[in-house]
Structure 1
Amino acid sequence: MPSHSQFRPCIDIHAGAVKQIVGGSLRDGDAAALRTNFVSPHAPAHFSRLFRQHALGGGHVIMLGAGNDDAAAEALRAWPGALQVGGGVTAANAREWLARGAAKVIVTSWVFPAAALSLPRLAELSALVGRDRLVVDLSCRRRTDPVTGAPAWVVATDRWQTPTDVAIAEAPLRQIAQFCSEFLVHAADVEGLCQGIDGELVALLAQISPIPVTYAGGAHRLDDLALVSRLSGGRVDLTIGSALDIFGGDQIKLADCVRWNRTGQLPAEEDEEKQ
């Protein structure tokens, strides 16, 4: 296992196309609210093949809304057994997604009916696909603790619009971790803004999570990889979206992320060693 945090790739699919969307702007029945940073001319499978070329496994394919099944299946076929899939996953379709080539399924709103965690649903899904092939999405909204004034985070579902009864805290994460092998956590308040990660959330996740975590949200510079690695002691991986060159960004090159995964060094650090 690497001693440093890893870059984890993503393929976000909306209306059949690969897009980068500002967190929380995707809402049912409100197309005017949607804020999109990037729409790719390439099909989802193009990115799967690109990630396969660079051995960037462990990434996730996320279906943002209905009508994306075919596009997601295409992405999985391009690199079977390597990518996770999420968005509308339930007990009724989870095994089908594994059969279509997903390495793991990512569950979100289905285990939070009426904005409350359903342990029976979570246990059912875990038994159905196996704990090692289940990822729970604990994407969250930042809050302020009314008593202490300290930052706090609450899991939010339904495209990050609905707060649930689960806080990002040690006890609930340990309880949920009995049924899954990873957590995926988008910091919804900074997702897609390219204005910096939520470092306090990253540090908290490293401290309290008993299983691996992939964090997403706000990455805007290559050294965010080193920052996440330092804040988490290498225990939290980082997904980069809108800032990445393959998604229209001008701040971070995919080639540098590949190099980081292999060496744990940024280009400037490698140059210094050569001098």
Structure 2
Amino acid sequence: MLRPRIIPCLLIHKGGLVKTQQFKAPKYVGDPINAVKIFNDKEADELVVLDIDATVNKVEPDFTLIAKLAAECRMPLCYGGGVTTAAQAARIIDMGVEKVAVSAAAIANPALLTEMAAAVGRQSVVAVVDVRKRTGLFAKGYEVCTHNGKVSHKLDPIALAKQLQDAGAGEIVVNSIDRDGQMQGYDLELAAQFKQALKVPVTFLGGAGSLDHLGELVSRLGVVGAAAGSLFVFKGKYRAVLINYPTPEQKKLLCHEALKR
């Protein structure tokens, strides 16, 4: 039976685990391998690890780190950062990673997703769409960004997601730049637009600050991926670093909310 997935998202910056706010000011929160061990113990549904340096610095994935993460991780693992070829994706999958995520490279060349799907299977190909609200006096709607929010693209986010889906992505991750690290809840209106438009599984990231926020997402949209960063690495209003995850009982309640739809 399909059920919502509760997914911690870990950001890697200069080899360490960090958390950002609106894609800025990365705060060091610990060692990524140690965090993986804790999420193993807490039986997380899945884990997303994104290297936020690789694409910006135009370097290939850190295969040494990926091998360590894959060896330690006992849950499905999705890695993203610096992947620009199907051969790199295949190498990562061969290490024991279940999914490979791409963003800027796929937007520049959607055929990359087709090549990756042929090499590793569509179910292992994830396209990440980073979005933020347009700014300006007469600006409306949302825009697509890459390179940690530094590069804006004149693309409609929904149309782009459908294009990436058709090109070969087996999953779309929608990441809200405006909500990143704010812990005030998901952009539910935006999430609903993506969910309605897409046929492949969708995961939403950006804004979760409580289990109620996860519940709001799955009660409205049903079986989706509910991903979060701050929620699973911080505790309390002063954001003390504490790796945490919902208990089995709490996850059952969230699943029940999804199945009520």
TM norm structure 2: 0.82
Provide the residue aligned with 1:96 in structure 2.
91
Please say which of residues 55-64 and 83-92 is displaced more in the overlay. 55-64
RMSD of the alignment, in Å? 2.9
The reply to whether residue 124 of structure 1 matches residue 115 of structure 2 is: yes
1:156 aligns with 2:156: no
Quick check: which has more Rg, 1 or 2? 1
1:262 pairs with 2:252: yes
How many aligned residue pairs are there?
245
Gaps of 5+ in 2: none
Post-superposition CA distance 1:205-256 (Å, at most 9, x none): 2211211111111111220011101221x13321121133xx2332798343
* Deviation of the 1:138 alpha carbon: 1.1
State the match for 1:197 in structure 2.
186
1:60-117 deviation digits (Å, cap 9, x = unpaired): 111110487233432221026720100111214111111222111001111223xxxx
The structure-2 alpha-carbon separation of the partners of 1:14 and 1:235, relative to structure 1 and needing over 3 Å to count, comes to: same
CA distance in 2, matches of 1:177, 1:49: 32
Q: Which residue of 2 aligns with 1:143?
A: 134
Q: Which amino acid aligns with 1:242?
A: S
Cα distance in 1 between the residues matched to 2:247 and 2:192: 21
Structure 1 letter corresponding to 2:23 = G
Matched residue type, 1:9: P
State, as a whole percentage, how many aligned pairs show the same letter: 26
Q: Which amino acid aligns with 2:43?
A: A
Over residues 105-132 of structure 1, what are the superposed CA-to-partner deviations in whole Å (9 max), with x where a residue is unaligned? 001111223xxxx233332222222211
Gaps of 5+ in 1: 26-34, 270-275
Alignment of 1:112-261 (within 5 A): 112-113=107-108, 118-143=109-134, 152-169=141-158, 171-178=159-166, 179-232=168-221, 234-244=222-232, 247-250=233-236, 254-256=244-246, 258-261=248-251
The farther-off stretch of 69-78 and 12-21 is 69-78
CA–CA distance in structure 2, aligned partners of residues 242 and 141 of structure 1: 18
Distance 1:195 1:165 in 2: 27
Q: Give the SS at the match of 2:180.
A: coil
Q: Which residue of 2 aligns with 1:48?
A: 36
Say if 2:65 is the partner of 1:71. Answer: yes
More strand by share: 2
Deviation of the 1:258 alpha carbon: 4.4
Q: Note closer, same or farther for the CA distance 1:45–1:172 as it changes in structure 2 (3 Å cut).
A: same
